[in-house]
Amino acid sequence: MNVTIVDYNSGNISSVINSFNEVAKDKVNIEVTSDLNKIKYSDKIVLPGQGSFKSCIDSLNNINGLVDTLNEFVIINKKPLLGICVGLQMFADIGYEETETKGLAWISGKVSKINNQNGKFKLPHIGWNEINIVKDSKIFEGIENNSHMYFVHSYELIPEDKNVISATTDYSSSVVCSVEKENIFGAQFHPEKSDKLGLQMIKNFINL
């Protein structure tokens, strides 16, 4: 099986690569590439994302044909994709970080700044926080409800269809931290920085 981590110059993804290699242990081929053919013929894709919504969308668009290849993989061929952090946020129709930017429109909704209640909550939301699993998801197999995951973000995905939400976390309000829609999976937290439970989630994705 081939699992491809999409490298589109979206910041440092070495911890994502290391975690997937650690879980794969030579049984699964982990490739890091922006090669459209390799992405197209992968079994599963990981879409990481660091920085702003706009910078990540711009980086995707800067690689000719990449967005079309991802659309074909996810929407037409219905193969599994895991988005991490901004990788998840880009599923939305639109994001409001820096400026209004169109997303991939895989999950109807928007990405807005977390309401920090006039400074009562610090942004970015950074560090370990409890996740509330609200949907029976294969991605959370072996992970107990109220487990702690590692977060670094100031913006949140607000999906129109609440049925896609698989987990939330409490920070100022109930913030969506994981989604699942058919073959599309996303984590707002960083599984690659979330110790053993994060590795379990990566293992669950690889084993889907």
Q: Is 112 helix (H, G, I), strand (E, B) or coil?
A: strand
What pLDDT, on the 0 to 100 scale, is given for residue 120? 87
pLDDT digits (tens, 9 = 90+) for 90-127: 999 999 999 999 999 999 999 999 998 888 899 999 99
pTM for the model stands at 0.97
Residue 19's CATH number: 3.40.50.880
Which of 85, 97, 125, 180 is an active site residue? 85
What pLDDT, on the 0 to 100 scale, is given for residue 97? 94
What pLDDT, on the 0 to 100 scale, is given for residue 70? 98
- Using pLDDT thresholds of 50, 70 and 90, give the confidence band for residue 11: confident
Average pLDDT over residues 68-88: 98
Average pLDDT over residues 173-181: 97
CA 192 – CA 12 distance, rounded (Å): 12
Report the number of distinct structural domains present in the chain: 1
What pLDDT, on the 0 to 100 scale, is given for residue 43? 98
pLDDT digits (tens, 9 = 90+) for 14-71: 999 999 999 998 889 999 999 999 999 999 999 999 999 999 999 999 999 999 999 9
The domain of 65 spans: 2-207
Which of 97, 156, 180, 192 is an active site residue? 192
Q: Is 192 a catalytic residue?
A: yes
DSSP H or E run through 40: helix 36-40
CB contact set of 47 (below 8 Å; sequence gap of 6+): 6, 70, 81, 82, 83, 84, 87, 90
pLDDT digits (tens, 9 = 90+) for 147-168: 999 999 999 999 999 999 999 9
What pLDDT, on the 0 to 100 scale, is given for residue 12? 86
Alpha-carbon separation of residue 182 from 16, 63, 164, 200 (angstroms) = 23, 26, 9, 20
What pLDDT, on the 0 to 100 scale, is given for residue 72? 98
Which of 125, 153, 180, 190 is an active site residue? 190
Q: Is 206 helix (H, G, I), strand (E, B) or coil?
A: helix
User: Residue holding tokens 């084993």?
Assistant: 207
Q: Is 141 a catalytic residue?
A: no
